[in-house]
Amino acid sequence: MSKVIKGGTVVTADRQWKADILVEGEVIKEIGPDLKGDEYVDAEGAYVIPGGIDPHTHLEMPFMGTTAAETFESGTWAAATGGTTMLVDFCLPGADGSIKNAINEWHRKSAPQICSDIGYHMAITGWNESIFDEMKYAVDNGVNSFKHFMAYKGALMVEDDEMFASFARCKELGALPMVHAENGDLVDLMQKKFLAEGKTGPEWHARSRPPEFEGEAANRAITIADAAGTPLYIVHVSCEQAHEAIRRARQKGMRVYGEPLIQFLTLDESEYLNTDWNHAAQRVMSPPFRGKEHQDGLWAGLQSGSLQVVATDHAAFSTEQKRMGLQDFTKIPNGSNGLEERLAMLWTYGVETGRLTPEEFVAATSTNVAKILNIYPRKGALVPGADADIVVWDPKISKTISASNHHSIIDYNVFEGKEVSAQARYTLSRGEVIWAWGQNSQPQPGRGRFVPRPAFSSAAKALTKWKELNSPRSVQRDPLNIPAGI
């Protein structure tokens, strides 16, 4: 069976033009004018874009004494309704510390539930020989990126020497190291100080982790990556201090990537001053929302290329779960929602305002991350041979975001009340229409697949070559001039 996506304006990361897309089976067969097929998907008056890829989610994540409420089914479904056809979830080692067991556990949980495709990053939460060995298992099994938490002291945090060892191992394996950049020692000290002073409300969460702590850690991670000779991906960039570190590194030729979140681009720290405890706690995440002065810089970074990817860090805990921290802000499970809203919010606040072009929107929501994670052009591209993960993006469907109409499992939405001006008219995952606006589409758990990601991206190879050619050499000395040993 073939399908033609008919009459739309195709938008890729580098151009837009009127064309039909012929899909055969699970892949794109042809792009051009007046194509014929067995079935038609109406794209008149709409854009046709590569399905969104959200590179940062935490579905059913065991964290801070509870488990994120969003399931693999509800999460991938919510994503699809919002135009996202693939997400990359963070796999965390369990109590045994085994990477292999963690990957198997993630497959066990995700496989029967996922409605569209998924990949994993692996978290490195300590350092020893078996982690060194098992990193190869991860890479051999399609997990080619490793996240290091510089925060969450006493739980997930790793030290500089551990990061260096792990980054060096990443380089050897052709994998991409990632960091959660916040100075965990300082956050820990500030949390203890505030609690000792009786400051227990959620506003103190944000104040215990200021932008300077993030900037310092970003700089440190960049230094470590450079010493280890590997590219680096900095997740959830929230502030100018971290962005500045990334910008400076890139200007020096370092291969550093930065990922702002849609929350950081559109919501700010005043949310924590809300007198409703629930409202403030629902928005507690790390790093926290920042002052408005940080947002212009993040938008400019997307436009100028110093930041490449917009993600969500979707870690959705119910209000009930957030209430674990009623007496103590350090016990509020960290995380917020966004995977359903990412595209619509970025379009409304980015493209509709003229901050981003439609092409830059596609780059930031799909193409750039497919390249960075080495799955391009199978994902993130509209070209013959690519997976037919395609969204008919309708700039005329407006909606008010609300927990009352969203597809997430949680009982609130951090974007509640925001008016968005575009929606997915149709979402196709590998050629199948899995979401059609206003047509009562239903989730199809189990149809999604795990997407293995190969190691040695071309950026990793180029950096290795550069480092080899430019690393200092020993000075060759005439043996006759070397004083004899005694």
Q: Which residues of the chain form contacts with Zn ion (CB under 5 A)?
A: 180, 185, 313
Which of ligand URP, Zn ion, none binds 424 (CB below 5-8 Å, type-dependent)?
none
Provide, rounded to whole angstroms, the least separation between the CB of residue 290 and ligand URP. 14
CA 275 vs CA 204, 271, 278, 332, 417: distances in Å: 13, 9, 9, 17, 18
Q: Provide the total of helices (H) and of strands (E) in the chain, helices listed first.
A: 16, 21
Q: Which residues bind ligand URP (CB under 6 A)?
A: 58, 180, 236, 285-286, 313, 315, 334-335
Q: How many CA atoms lie within 13 A of 450 on its CB side?
A: 18
3-state secondary structure of 448: coil
- Nearest in space to 466 (alpha carbons), one of 257, 306, 254, 258: 254
CA distance linking residue 289 with residue 283, whole number of Å: 8
- Helix 240-251 crosses helix 211-228 at what angle (to 10 degrees)? 30
Provide, rounded to whole angstroms, the least separation between the CB of residue 19 and ligand URP. 38
CA distance linking residue 159 with residue 232, whole number of Å: 16
Cis peptide bond upstream of 287, omega within 30: yes
Which of Zn ion, ligand URP, none binds 334 (CB below 5-8 Å, type-dependent)?
ligand URP
| Residues linked to residue 438 through DSSP beta bridges, in sequence order | none
Which of ligand URP, Zn ion, none binds 335 (CB below 5-8 Å, type-dependent)?
ligand URP
Q: The tokens of 59 are what?
A: 């579905």
Longest CA pairwise span in the chain (Å): 88
Give the residue with the Cβ less far from Zn ion, 63 or 426.
Answer: 63
Which of Zn ion, ligand URP, none binds 427 (CB below 5-8 Å, type-dependent)?
none
Which amino acid is located at 257 in the chain? Y
Which of ligand URP, Zn ion, none binds 185 (CB below 5-8 Å, type-dependent)?
Zn ion
Cis peptide bond upstream of 443, omega within 30: no
Give the residue with the Cβ less far from ligand URP, 207 or 467.
Answer: 207
CA distance linking residue 90 with residue 119, whole number of Å: 9
Which of Zn ion, ligand URP, none binds 350 (CB below 5-8 Å, type-dependent)?
none
Which of Zn ion, ligand URP, none binds 285 (CB below 5-8 Å, type-dependent)?
ligand URP
Provide, rounded to whole angstroms, the least separation between the CB of residue 244 and ligand URP. 21
| CB closest to ligand URP, residue no | 334
Give the residue with the Cβ less far from ligand URP, 209 or 430.
Answer: 209
Give the residue with the Cβ less far from Zn ion, 180 or 425.
Answer: 180
Provide, rounded to whole angstroms, the least separation between the CB of residue 68 and ligand URP. 8
First to last CA, the chain: 83
3-state secondary structure of 306: coil
Give the residue with the Cβ less far from Zn ion, 88 or 463.
Answer: 88
CA distance linking residue 23 with residue 324, whole number of Å: 49
Provide, rounded to whole angstroms, the least separation between the CB of residue 93 and ligand URP. 14
Residue that the structure tokens 């092409």 belong to: 359
Give the residue with the Cβ less far from ligand URP, 234 or 362.
Answer: 234
Q: Are the beta carbons of 74 and 409 closer than 8 angstroms?
A: yes
Q: CA angle, 124 as apex, 193 and 252 as ends, to 5°?
A: 85
Give the residue with the Cβ less far from Zn ion, 89 or 387.
Answer: 89
Provide, rounded to whole angstroms, the least separation between the CB of residue 315 and ligand URP. 4
Which of ligand URP, Zn ion, none binds 443 (CB below 5-8 Å, type-dependent)?
none
Strands 62-63 and 419-420 come out as unpaired
Q: The tokens of 87 are what?
A: 């997400």
Provide, rounded to whole angstroms, the least separation between the CB of residue 382 and Zn ion. 29
Give the residue with the Cβ less far from Zn ion, 49 or 78.
Answer: 78
Provide, rounded to whole angstroms, the least separation between the CB of residue 452 and ligand URP. 23
Give the residue with the Cβ less far from ligand URP, 282 or 334.
Answer: 334
Provide, rounded to whole angstroms, the least separation between the CB of residue 182 and ligand URP. 9
